[in-house]
Amino acid sequence: MTTSLPPRPDVQADLTERPELTQRPELIQRPRRTRRTPALRSLTREISLSAAQFIYPLFIHEGQGEQPIASMPGVSRHSVAGAVAKVGEALSLGVNTVVLFGIPDSKDAVGTQAYLDTGIIQVATRAIRAAHPAVTIIADTCLCEYTDHGHCGPLCEIGGEVTVDNDAALELLALTAVSQARAGADIVAPSAMMDGQIGAIRTALDAAGFTHVLVMSYAVKYASAYYGPFRDAAGSTPSFGDRGSYQMDPAGGYREALREARLDTEQGADYLMVKPGLPYLDVIRVIRDASLLPLVAYNVSGEYAMLKAAVAAGMLDEKRTVLETLIAFRRAGADAIMTYHALDAARWLREDAQVREGVQARM
């Protein structure tokens, strides 16, 4: 084995000139021993990170060409053809799963474009499925990108307040999920935070013959400021009010999170999700310890935008920060990570693996 290490300093000579250091403490435990070489560090490493654990989000619009999203450098709205090409790039990097968000040309009060077979998500799903049979397609199942008021279901008035009509939303979410399954989605991902949505969707999928289609529940989803850039990207900012009456209160605590996770499990969810990710790593751990279901973390748009801004300002090293962040999700207990960094991270993991293989080949 050849080595290009710098010459070793003469430690012994140095010590004799500094007699106070010759008195060695009697340390029985020296954790540094297990970290001495890269091989020793990799021997007992607990957390793994691989491209197959990433879910890549794609925004798809009805127009032509790519529209970069100013608040999310490196992320664009794609045409259907552009999305098909992007999925090919993801697969070539080992990222086998994508989640689709639709941006329709026309919106109305009940989000019709979400559940038409000619809707943007349905069209894109069929095109991606035809070009890439092996990819796992997740369809985001919500109405807020399709309603003209930007809320996650049709509106009603309760006690003088305009709010989302929970039970009317269930019917439309179920229609949306079935049309997404019919287009070829492997997984539907309800994100509206309507009570009973998992059960309504599971029942409708089964009745339509889609017992094999999985439901990934955004079970623990907070009313978060970190969604800001996503709403720019998807054009889904509510035209009045906020989503505080259906999404969870950031100060709600663990009991509320556990209750939401348990209800969705009882209704037939196949996966649970915690959203956002970084400010809620503790919630990921709590759900992980309480549930047997696979768990997904959503590393949301605002987390991505913050990191990108710090990198652009020269404050952080992008590769190291992104990989450390993704490892943090895995350590907290997430099985899979929905992240806009997916393709970059997959590229870096591949580069690092190639460097390691090169080193081994020279040994």
| Chain contacts with Zn ion (rule: CB under 5 A) | 142, 144, 152, 192
Q: Please identify which of the residues 86, 107, 275, 308 carries the catalytic annotation.
A: 275
Among candidates 2, 109, 128, 1, which has minimal Cα distance to 56? Answer: 128
Choose between 167 and 352: whose C-beta lies nearer to Zn ion. 167
Distances in Å between the alpha carbon of 355 and those of 2, 297, 351, 359, 361? 16, 29, 6, 6, 10
Contact 227, 276 (CB under 8 A): yes
Sign of torsion over alpha carbons 335, 341, 343, 348: negative
Nearer to Zn ion, 192 or 287 (CB): 192
> Least distance in Å: CB of 246 to Zn ion?
9
Query: For residues 152 and 278, which CB has a smaller minimum distance to Zn ion in the complex?
Result: 152
Q: Please, what is the minimum distance in Å from the beta carbon of residue 191 to Zn ion? A: 5
Q: What's the min distance (Å) between Cβ of 164 and Zn ion? A: 9
- Is 275 among the residues known to form the active site? yes
Distance from C-alpha of 197 to C-alpha of 210, rounded to nearest angstrom: 16
Residue nearest to Zn ion (CB): 144
Q: In angstroms, what is the minimal distance from the CB of 146 to Zn ion?
A: 9
Cα separation of 236 and 251, whole Å? 24
Q: Are 332 and 288 in contact (CB under 8 A)?
A: yes
Q: Please tell me the number of Cα atoms within 13 Å of 143 on its side-chain side.
A: 32
> Which CB atom, from 231 or from 347, has the smaller least distance to Zn ion?
231
Residue with the two structure tokens 């090169």: 358
Give the pair of three-digit tokens for residue 129: 């499925």
Q: Which of 86, 107, 221, 308 is catalytic?
A: 221
Q: Cα–Cα distance between 213 and 200 in angstroms, integer?
A: 14
Q: How far is the CB of 140 from Zn ion (least distance, A)?
A: 8
* Cβ count within 10 A of residue 113: 24
Whose Cβ is closer to Zn ion: residue 80's or residue 189's? 189
For residue 222, the SS3 value is strand
Write the DSSP assignment of 139-193 as a string of letters.
EEE-STTTBTT--SS-EEEETTEEEE-HHHHHHHHHHHHHHHHHHT-SEEEE-S-
Based on the residue annotation, tell me whether 221 is a catalytic residue of this protein: yes
CB 133 to Zn ion: min, Å = 29
Smaller CB distance to Zn ion: residue 142 or 337? 142
Q: Which residues are catalytic?
A: 221, 275
